[in-house]
Amino acid sequence: MPAYSGVRRLLGAVLFLLATLAPARAAPTDEPDTVRIGVLAFLGADATIGEWSPVLRRLQDALPGRTVSLVQLDHAGLRDAAAAGDIDFLITNPGHYVELEAELGASRILTLDPGPTRTPERAIGSAVIVKAGNDRLRTLDDLRGKRVAVVSTEVFGGFQTIWRELAAQDIDPQRDFAELKPVGLPMTRVFEAVARGEADAGIVRSCLLESREEWRRGFTVLGARSESDFPCATSTRLYPDWPLATLRHTPTALAKEVTLALLAMSTARDGMEWAVPADYQAVHEMFRELQIGPYAYLREPTLMVLAERYWRWIAAFALLLAAWILYTVRVEHLVHARTAELRAALAAREALEARIRANQEQADHLARLSVLGELSGTLAHELNQPLATIVNYAQSLVRRSDNGRLTDDAVREASSEIAGQAERAAGILGRIRGFAKKRAAVRERVAPAALASEAVALFRGMLANAPEVSIDDTLPAGAIVEVDPLQIQQVLLNLLKNGYDAARGLPRERQRLAIRIGEGAGESAGHACIAVRDHGSGLDAAARERLFEPFFTTKPDGLGLGLSICRTIAEAHRGRLTVDGTGEGPGCEFILSLPLGPSASAPPESRTDHAADR
């Protein structure tokens, strides 16, 4: 250690010589007229002025034209002054410096040199003091259950260094001490608290006990360690001495002048010396172990600590959680019960809908059979014509064969007529059979004109003297609807049959029926409208109001179900069935509107005016 001390003194002499020989220069305009140095006053105002007055005098001499002042502050005040920019330099203990370095960017430029008996790197420790003659307290482990006085838990030499040693022996001051009694600055209050019996032990900075004779006689150090080259009793490891640090706003030139001036100080001449910045890694290691200061983020509170600290909140949360669990269980029970009821209701609804669908299909089938029944009187006559023709041509072939006048042309002619009439009869029977067949509803994409043509063909096939039925299609080419063709044919056939019945007995020209197919407007926009118009006697307003009611009919032998079923079929296809009895001319017009679907890739049937009066 003597070699290191000689090198340090030589470096200080060189820097002092350079500062002395440097040419005088005017202070930069951005440097302050007053140099303010914040000092941690751990021993009180008078002791602080006496301890740091050599620094004040040296800087006052080295910085002519500027006023140098010492600002005495406690830990919090020193931090606030540094953050606000109220001081240019700070002198504080190593632990406080490390905290300010991490938080405010403080940067050490010098470390206090404690003198020939100590080095700057091993200058500060803590001493646990007890009254002299107290044989009950000999080691740090004896502090369990005792009252211990400290300046504050934030003081480096007055608590934090001993905290590290206690933690190494699994002693938690907050848990294992009967009382951790903060007495505040100055540190002399710790001696007073122990002397008056207010505390069993106290924690002070090492070498403070040896600074006064009455303290050396009245107190002893608990758990003293053997540290080489250290003249004082200490209960802890040793750490670097106090640093002089700059702040982010400190001018660089001013920091250089202050550094050179203080390095030139000597104990013999000024009573104090400064050295180049020491290594403060030991302080960082202590803070990391204790997880305090800049390493506080490493501290993860245990469940026991959280329970002790927040037990009221935990209890309240537990009650809320229990209430929430009970509420959740009750809600789950109600949900399961309501879900079961809902499932049962849905099952009943589905069963009811299935029965309704079955009944609807049965009603549609009966309605078709009803229409066939009404037309059955003329059906036999319609079939008699092709059958009679077939019989006549067959008998003609027999007679010609008997008379020897049978030629190939006669056979060909008779065969062609017989085949044509047979196809006609088969077509009539096929359409009737398909119409009367009971089956489930289907959806197909068809052209409205094709539906109307098929219904007209079926209508004419079942009547001997069918009236003239014209079809006028004004829909765009390729227009289609997605429907059940058989159900829509049932609606159109019912409307054609009603129109035929309304004009029966009237002159032939008034028995004609007209079908108009076009795109709707207003409420029917986007729909294909198929209008069936008769020229009969028409309906009065009262009859039109009740026309679609079940069991209402204007026919002497009607059941009153046809139009009601037709409207149900139209609504099932998202369409409408309405009647207009106020148009031009006599009779009524029934309008079936169906939603138009996407246009077919190719038009199913070109637009044309059909005359079905073959």
pTM for the model: 0.46
Indicate if the pLDDT at residue 317 is higher than 60. Answer: yes
User: Is 195 in contact with 218 (CB distance < 8 Å)?
Assistant: yes
- Helix, strand, or coil here: 447? coil
pLDDT-derived band of residue 25, with 50, 70 and 90 as boundaries?
Answer: very low
Mean pLDDT of 309-325: 88
pLDDT band per the 50, 70, 90 thresholds, residue 100: very high
Instruction: Output the DSSP codes for 490-538.
Output: HHHHHHHHHHHHHTTTS-GGGS-EEEEEEEB-GGGBTEEEEEEE--SS-
> Given a cut of 60, is residue 404 above it in pLDDT?
yes
* Mean pLDDT to the nearest integer, 216-241: 90
Across-strand partners of 470? 514, 611
The model's pLDDT over 405-420, given as tens digits with 9 standing for 90+, comes to 778 777 887 788 788 7
**How many percent of the chain have pLDDT more than 90?**
39
**Res 38: pLDDT:** 94
The per-residue pLDDT for 203 is 95
Give the model's confidence band at 352: pLDDT under 50 very low, under 70 low, under 90 confident, else very high.
Answer: confident
Predicted local confidence at residue 142, as pLDDT: 92
Average pLDDT over residues 221-230: 87
- Return the closest-CA partner of residue 113 out of 123, 103, 104: 123
CB neighbourhood size of 305 (10 A): 14
Comparing 39-43, 239-243, 391-395, 408-412, the range with the smallest average pLDDT is 391-395
The residue ranking higher by pLDDT, 368 or 569, is: 569
For the ranges 131-135, 340-344, 461-465, 575-579, the lowest mean pLDDT is seen at: 461-465
pLDDT of residue 22: 40
pLDDT band at 332 (very low <50, low <70, confident <90, very high): very high
Give the pLDDT confidence score for residue 375 in this predicted structure.
Answer: 52
